[in-house]
Amino acid sequence: MTVRPALSVAVVAALCALVPGVLYAGQRRPGNLDRAASDAVEAGLGDAHGVLTALVLPTEPPVVLAAVLVTMLVCAWRRRWAGAVLAVVAPAVAVAVNTWVLKPMVGRYYDDHLAYPSGHTVSLVSVLAVIALLATATWRRVVVGAGIVLTAAAGAGMIGLGYHYLTDVLGGAAFAVAATLAVATGLGALTRHGRRLGGVPRERREPADGT
3-state SS class at 109 = strand
Q: Which residues of the chain fall below pLDDT 50?
A: 200-204, 208-211
The predicted pLDDT at position 2 comes to 66
The predicted pLDDT at position 193 comes to 58
Q: How far is CA 76 from the centre of its chain?
A: 22
The residue type of 135 is A
Tell me how many degrees the CA angle 63-66-69 measures, rounded to the nearest 5. 155
Distances (CA, A) of 15 to 21, 61, 94: 10, 27, 15
φ/ψ region of 79 (left if φ > 0, alpha if ψ in -120 to 50, else beta) reads left
89-144 confidence digits (pLDDT tens): 999 999 999 999 999 999 999 999 999 999 999 999 999 999 999 999 999 999 99
pTM, rounded to two decimals: 0.90
Give the total residue count for the chain. 211
